[in-house]
Amino acid sequence: MEAESVSDVITEIHRWHEVLSDLPPAQTEDEAIDRITALEELTSASAAAQARETLTFDMHRRNREAEEGMSSRTQGKGLGAEIGLARKVSRARGSRLLGFARSLLLDLPKTYASLKSGAISEEKARVVVKETDWLPRDKRHQVDDRVADRLAEVGVGRLGNEVRALAQQLDQKAAVEHLDRCVEERAVTVRPAPGNMAYLTALLPLSQAVAAYTSLSKSAQSIVGTGQSEGRTQGQVMADLLVERTTGQDSAEAIPTEVHVVMNENSLFDPGETPAWFPGFGPIPAKTARDFIAQNEASVFIRRLYTRPSDGQLVRMDSKRREFSGLLRRMVVIRDDVCRSPWCDAQIKHADHSQAFAAGGETDWDNASGLCAACNLLKELPGWRHEATAEELVVRTPTGHRYQIGTRPLGTPTTNSSELPRSNLANDQTCDEASTPNTFTVRIPPFRKVEAPRLEGRFESLKVDMWHRREEPPSEVEMCLVGQLAEFASAL
């Protein structure tokens, strides 16, 4: 990030940062504990200061825009995104931080004072804000007054329950309306988890969530109790039942999948080590990807994506159309993986021009960005500008700050020409597949011939190394693809 100038206050804050970074370790146990406490209180005071500066930024921007004649409805657009960039978090997180700052300083002064003094953590302050955000302002002041003495005494969970109960008691009508609105927000989401796993989360009304869980639990208990679990635990059976019931499959392993494999041929057809990458979720080991392709009971479709050997970037592609569609759009989504805006991890909704088409931007690889819907609309606001190439994106905000993010290479760079992928793509251009995005090509190499170990015995006395060649059986992945292609051809 680049800023135009640095004030004396910022210089002093940087000095504190350097002092803490170079602080030598404590010499005794007592001193270590005292430092931990003091640093925790400093963290709380820092969070309070950030909240205050966030609200200050909000007020300055709205005042300037009001003086410029902007309507109240259009004032403050994009503030959450600017705060997110400043704090190195997503746009959505920045918007929540802005709402937190407004509520804390305007509606919960005693909670803010406790945070500023270091008596409570930022987590506790967030709980109070969250559990009262649906109340009218006067009722929020009442909650703030009545819980002030409890803030530092109870844990986060108990504090949340007490604040929620008090809020519902103060305004039962608003509480009922709030619960009705929450029901409208029901949704299902998925996000990555460690170990090549993922969290499938359903936000449901309490009664429905309990009913769904109870049904899965009873069915799993029955399967385990009758000896049909095949060594699976009850939790594993519940997870498999969830997949089977929601997808209609006979088996949780039979997942129809289109796998975008971005890996060299040695990793796909041989025991290579270059990992595969699931768009939107991250890397998986090459062996795990091969096993997934070969052992999956359902259909698996493979698309080979080529990368430049020099830097591992995905091969470029251009279009004469105004919109990003077909294979070009698919390549942009795979390249950027998640929203390309700095620190935004939202799923990509739009593949769009960094420089608008109306302003002369081309529908090409360098001018493309995969963005979430909010970030794509945000870049059209006054003062915002995206400058992109295939290798990086630069975001400029209304305050003149500049944020730069590089494109993650999908392949492994190499300078060995013998390792270049065998491709019919010339001069970094894609093949005719661009005009037929619904087709795909699978190249299966012939059965490989390998050199066998040296023969020992009768030729040894002649001091001649004797080698013979033998046919090597195909890999498991090759056999899987051969079977699928044969089945496909027979159905034509």
| Helix (H) / strand (E) containing 378 | helix 373-378
Contact 90, 346 (CB under 8 A): yes
> Is residue 480 scored above 80 in pLDDT?
no
Q: How do residues 85-95 score in pLDDT, each as one tens digit?
A: 999 999 999 99
The answer to which of 23-27, 381-385, 387-391 has the lowest mean pLDDT is 387-391
Backbone Cα Rg of the chain: 29
Q: How do residues 418-432 score in pLDDT, each as one tens digit?
A: 444 433 333 333 344
Q: How do residues 140-199 score in pLDDT, each as one tens digit?
A: 999 999 999 999 998 998 999 899 889 988 888 888 888 888 888 899 988 878 777 888
Per-residue pLDDT at 84: 94
Higher pLDDT, 211 or 282: 211
Among 264, 231, 270, smallest CA distance to 474 is for 270
Q: What is the pTM of this model?
A: 0.67
* Identity of the residue numbered 325: S
> Is residue 120 scored above 90 in pLDDT?
yes
Per-residue pLDDT at 268: 61
Give the residue-averaged pLDDT of 373-396: 88
Give the residue-averaged pLDDT of 198-219: 88
Among 76, 36, 74, 28, smallest CA distance to 54 is for 76
Per-residue pLDDT at 104: 96
Q: How far apart are CA 130 and CA 66, in angstroms?
A: 29
The answer to which of 202-206, 245-249, 388-392, 441-445 has the lowest mean pLDDT is 441-445
Q: How far apart are CA 442 and CA 462, in angstroms?
A: 47
Question: Based on the number of CB atoms within 10 Å of its own CB, is 280 exposed (0-12), middle (13-18) or buried (19 or more)?
Answer: middle
Is residue 261 classed as helix, strand or coil in its secondary structure? strand
Phi-psi map region of 191: left, alpha, beta (phi>0 left; psi -120 to 50 alpha): beta
Among 85, 79, 113, 73, smallest CA distance to 3 is for 85
**pLDDT-based confidence at residue 459 (cuts at 50, 70, 90):** very low
SS (H, E, C) 173-231: HHHHHHHHHHHHCCEEEEEEECCCEEEEEEECCHHHHHHHHHHHHHHHHHHHHCCCCCC
Contacts of 272 (CB under 8 A, 6+ apart): 263, 264, 266, 286
The answer to which of 116-120, 253-257, 284-288, 307-311 has the lowest mean pLDDT is 253-257
Phi and psi, residue 137, nearest 5°? -60, -40
Contact 428, 316 (CB under 8 A): yes
Contacts of 492 (CB under 8 A, 6+ apart): none
Per-residue pLDDT at 176: 83
Q: Are strands 257-261 and 300-304 parallel, antiparallel or unpaired?
A: parallel
In this prediction, what percent of the chain has a pLDDT beyond 90?
33
Per-residue pLDDT at 309: 60
Q: How do residues 27-84 score in pLDDT, each as one tens digit?
A: 999 999 999 999 999 999 999 999 999 999 999 999 999 999 988 888 999 999 999 9
Higher pLDDT, 268 or 302: 268
| Helix (H) / strand (E) containing 330 | helix 326-336
Q: How do residues 281-336 score in pLDDT, each as one tens digit?
A: 566 676 776 776 666 555 555 555 555 666 666 665 555 555 666 667 777 887 88
Among 137, 68, 76, smallest CA distance to 108 is for 137
Higher pLDDT, 291 or 394: 394
